[in-house]
Structure 1
Amino acid sequence: MEQEIINQKTSVALIVGVTGMVGVALAEALKKATALGGPWTVYGVSRRTLPPWFPSSLLDKYIMLDTLNKENTNKILSPLSTQITHVFWLALSFHESEEINVSFNSTMLSNVLNALTSTPNSKLCHVTLQTGTKQYMGPINDSALSSQLVPHDAPFKEEYPRLPFPNFYYALEDIVTSYQQSFTCSIHRASIIIGASSRSYFNTLLSLSIYALVCKREKYPFRYVGNKYSWEHFWDLSDATLLAEQQIWASVTNKAKNQAFNCTNGDVFTWKTLWKVLCNVFDVEFVPFDEKEKFDLVDFMKNKGDVWDAIVEENGLYKTKMEEVTCFGALAFTLKLKIQHVCSMNKSREFGFYGYANTLASIEPWVERLRQMKIIPK
């Protein structure tokens, strides 16, 4: 990577959404002795108490805070405005209506930025905003709008114009860029994220892990949950560690200031090949996709909560409720799209970030990490 790094005497990061997949990876990356822009002091924000699987040693300060509450956010964060130099925004409030998504997520981000810039001695110099490929596809999870969407052609490129639909990613970008006189920013557009956490709303790997474990226990076939198109065509993923690395790089590299970057692993795969990897990891039989067999993942899993409860209890796992840590509806919907879900990484490379991850090889290590965290059984 290029070494046009900003000299920062004291780097203090505020990770908003620290218990999510990328939040965990980012805290780990910032605390490495080799972290660009370091050494870093790391503060983490989340709505709930830290889960037992989170390494508390990664944080110099943990703040439990609902950022929708303007008064409380200002009360807690304003005193820290003379310390915090970098905000890493990973938070997400998800609702089926995109208009509500716009409202809630905009309020959260505005409350935090207002609190950190309201004092004359604010040290905030950069905000990192994580978004995703809905930038190029539109609000696919809004049932009132999804049938009207015409996504951009793949591979998705950062210079593509905005689609004419409400999108909370657009709203968050506009909020961050409106502060251009106060601090710089970088936008990081992820694909489907793979990492380890029980606190991420769209957690594809954990959802597939729980599905596989239920199938294995109850002796059901581990059927593919999408359509023939996604089974056979190219997709990409974003490794949580890679996202963390790109976000840190952009936050301390002059050339990357005020830019938007896709961030994917840099390779492509078919779900057919990834499904074989999952079968090997969980020791379940590979079942070839048969489009004649209609399979509804949401319907199949809706009454399996007691099975997951039994798995959790028998293996002494961190207690989770299946419906709270899975995203079966969103996953099944996404994998039934008839698009090639692939992003271009050319701009990122041209600006000096050359990080990559081997998608198929990364699945087993992340599953092992979930096992070590006692989120899923060994």
Structure 2
Amino acid sequence: MEQANPTQPVALIVGVTGMVGVALTEALNKPTALGGPWTVYGVSRRPLPTWFPSSILNKHMILDTLNQQQTHEILSPLSSQITHVFWLALQVNESEQVNISLNSTMLSNVLKSLTSSPTSKLSHVTLQTGTKQYLGPVFDPILSTQLVPRDPPFIEDYPRLPFPNFYYALEDILASYSNSLTYSVHRASLIIGASTRSFYNLLLTLAVYALVCKHQNHPFRYFGNKYSWEHFWDVSDARVLAEQQIWASVTDKANNEAFNCTNGDVFTWKMIWRVLCDAFDIEFVPFDEKEEFDLVEFMKDKGEVWDRIVEENGLYKTKMQEIAYFNGIDKLLQFEFQHVCSVNKSREFGFHGYANTLKSIPEWVQKLRQMKILP
């Protein structure tokens, strides 16, 4: 087994093949990475896909963190090496109670495996969550009908909503370890990045829809409501999230704190639609609220169209239902409040990372093309 330098921080990225996992692996490998040079280990449930830059991982492990015995057997021998855990793993179910059970089990299994030994080196855990902190369980079919979200812009010290939320459960698990290790919580907005292994992949979902429209000569119509078309939203570039997580992991002032993490700017979906049309060379169609359009219904039988696009362009093999989440994005864009987070706290604590959203989208489209995920 490869031995890490005893003076060198060793990162374990749990969920390494997701959008932020890819960005974090690349960021930790930069010569300028804070606290570095880093040794980087990665965990995923499946083998690394061909598009993943595996050469910049010192070690990759296939691991189902729901399996307590397997997690202990694989991770406990590394407890004398791993100094930092970056928690990006996610299990998603419609029921929020099931989400709490699954995600809590995974985090607990990993932390127990890495802290049970007297030679444990683990000192800090970064936990990635999101704006469900302020919205509640928006995808739970029963609870979502009862939600009253916090007023935007969302602020970190808003009290918890009176609904079950697996983000709250994960924060409580980390707080229970506060005598022996520090942690930081990173609340992302909708994430923009490049991976086929992320459950909520906004850009890839929109790209699949755009390319199917282009392939079949359908208009690329906006499927949200008039409010979201015209009002402000924000997103989180995976690179900014990676930078903030590294910063917090080596900054004492950030210990045991929660930070929103967005690009620091806002946009309307009308603006995004024009950017997407330019990126995929399709005609911009203005939103018309008189014309009803059901995205989920439109895309439900388009799996074979996507298969043809993949085949004709020699792309990395993907199935539409595995990389696109039409139900989720359709529901989000029916919101009638501005989905915006305050990042003042992050700036006040010393993190100034940002991205220009309208410029970053074409960059990520190009990255997805280089990875042979998009044509």
Secondary structure in structure 1 of the residue aligned to 2:16? coil
Q: What is the TM-score with the length of structure 2 in the denominator?
A: 0.98
Structure 2 distance, partners of 1:31, 1:283, is 34
SS at match of 2:259: strand
1:70-149 matched pairs, under 5 angstroms: 70-149=68-147
The answer for the alignment partner of 1:238 in structure 2 is 236
- Separation in 2 of the partners of 1:225 and 1:40? 44
Q: Whole-Å Cα distance in 2 between the matches of residues 366 and 302 of structure 1? A: 26
Q: Deviations over 1:20-52 (max 9, x none)?
A: 000000000000000000000000000001000
Query: SS at 1:354's partner residue?
Result: coil
Alignment correspondent of 1:9: 7
User: 1:308, 1:354 → 2: CA distance?
Assistant: 39
Match of 1:189 among 187, 208, 216: 187
Q: Secondary structure of the residue that 1:238 maps to in structure 2? A: strand
SS at match of 1:131: strand
Structure 1 counterpart of 2:211 = 213
Q: For residues 67 and 55 of structure 1, what CA distance do their matches in structure 2 show?
A: 23
1:244 Cα deviation from its structure 2 partner: 0.1
TM-score (norm 1): 0.97
Q: Show the 5 A alignment for 1:277-356.
A: 277-356=275-354
Shift of 1:9: 2.6
Equivalent position SS for 1:269: coil
After TM superposition, which residue ranges in structure 1, 4 or more long, deviate above 6 angstroms?
Answer: none
Distance 1:288 1:348 in 2: 36
**Residue type at the aligned position of 1:144:** I
**Alpha-carbon offset, residue 266 of structure 1:** 0.3
What SS does the corresponding residue of 2:11 show, helix, strand or coil?
Answer: strand
Once the two structures are superposed, residues 70-120 of structure 1 have per-residue CA deviations (whole angstroms, 9 ceiling, x without a partner) of 010001000000000000000000000000000000000000000000101
Aligned mates of 2:33, 2:39 — CA distance in 1: 12
Q: Deviations over 1:274-319 (max 9, x none)?
A: 1000001101111111111111111100100000000101111000
Indicate the SS of the match to 1:33. Answer: coil
Task: Describe the SS at the equivalent of 1:162.
Answer: coil
Shift of the alpha carbon at 1:328? 0.5
1:169 to 149, 167, 190: 167
> Could you tell me which amino acid in structure 2 is paired with residue 69 of structure 1?
N
Corresponding residue number in structure 2 for 1:59: 57
Amino acid at match of 1:259: E
Structure 1 residue identity aligned to 2:324: T
Q: Quick one: which amino acid aligns to residue 117 of structure 1?
A: T
Measure, in 2, the Cα distance between the counterparts of 1:164 and 1:114.
29
In structure 2, the partner of 1:4 is none
How far does the alpha carbon of each residue in 1:235-279 deviate from its partner, in whole angstroms, 9 at most, with x for none?
000000000000000000011111000000000000001100000
Q: Distance in 2 between matches of 1:46 and 1:358?
A: 30
Q: Partners in 2 of 1:224 and 1:63 — Cα distance?
A: 41
Alignment of 1:247-266 (within 5 A): 247-266=245-264
| Equivalenced residues, count | 370
Where does the alignment leave 5 or more consecutive residues of structure 1 unmatched?
1-7
Q: CA RMSD in A?
A: 0.7
Distance 1:178 1:154 in 2: 30
Q: Secondary structure of 1:235's match? A: coil
Residue of structure 1 in register with 2:364 after alignment: 366
Say if 2:46 is the partner of 1:25. no
**What does residue 275 of structure 1 align with?**
273
Letter of the 2:338 counterpart: Q
